[in-house]
Amino acid sequence: MVAGADQPSGRAVDWLDVRGVQLGHSYGGDARAWGQDAGEVRAAADDPMRIRALTIARYEKGRISEVTDEVAAEEPLELRVDGRPLAVIMRTPGHDRFLAAGFLLSEGIIQTARDLQEIGPAPDRDGFPQPNALEIRLRPELENSGRPWQRHFTITASCGVCGRASIDAVLDRVPPISEQITIAPTVLLGLEERLRSSQPVFTRTGGLHAAALFDPTGRLIVAHEDVGRHNAVDKVIGQLLLQGQLPAPVSMLLVSGRASFELVQKAVVARIPFLIAVGAPSSLAVELARAAGVTLVGLLRPHRFTLYAHPERLRLAP
């Protein structure tokens, strides 16, 4: 993570007052143990929110042995707007306010950080903060505008808000990206290794996706991990939004795994002209990238990659 980023603290309460630019540390989950009996999941001592330790049976070379292993944490996060449920996101705890802000921007509920007044822990019926729920206060004009936040939806780690938007709907919200940035192929070829070096939880568990933003020279700006690619991207976008760094027209977004329609949509909304994926894109992702002016790169490997949309931004040596 970048210096000064929202770092896990193990505390159950986190809050953010955007108006005063006061930053707390809001995280779902806590440092409690999940049980010490064999086979039960418990929090890892050094990263209790994002990593769980458990006893497993491992088969190797004809033998089964009992060992302790680590898995990535996944818990639900409920988002509420003005006390009304908006969404339940299955995510890796930590950096929840970035996730919430990025989600709100990607879904068109807010347009800028000024639309947010406060993100804080949602109280339970006794008034105590809940570790896996955030209360969001918007500008009064937005809360009273009749926007459809009453609609409930669950975002799973694999599919996001599946099939909810179309290419026309995206382009009705934001115009195509026309930024003339160009990137040398050698810069793209070195990005996957830099992404791997920014994935401490994946290194230990093998169970998280990652998203990272780079400048045109390949310098890492910010990176986040999560059980869902969409969540990792929302955390990146949300951090940029709350730190006043959006739009990001001179940057590249790299994601682990495949490139879906929703990931291209998030890049368009954040005005990021390059979306690069370690995996392959879907057909609808390619269609949206071509229509929205996003250079879409897939199948990134140390010595090659595939350009699916707007290859003119690749700067070849004369």
Sequence-ordered strand ranges (E) for the chain: 16-17, 22-23, 42-43, 51-60, 63-72, 75-81, 84-91, 116-123, 129-138, 153-155, 209-214, 220-226, 252-255, 274-277, 295-298, 306-309
Query: Beta 129-138 vs 75-81: how paired, if at all?
Result: parallel
Q: What is the DSSP string of 240-283?
A: HHHTT-----S-EEEESS-B-HHHHHHHHHTT-SEEEESSPBPH
Measured distance CA(110)–CA(102) in Å, rounded: 9
* H or E element at residue 149: none
Measured distance CA(133)–CA(92) in Å, rounded: 13
Which one is catalytic: 33, 41, 45, 159? 159
Measured distance CA(95)–CA(14) in Å, rounded: 9
Is-contact 94 49, C-beta < 8 A? yes
To the query of whether residue 162 is one of the catalytic residues in this protein, the response is no
Token couple for 304: 């090659």
- How crowded is residue 316: how many other Cβ atoms within 10 Å of its Cβ? 8
What residues are annotated to the active site? 159
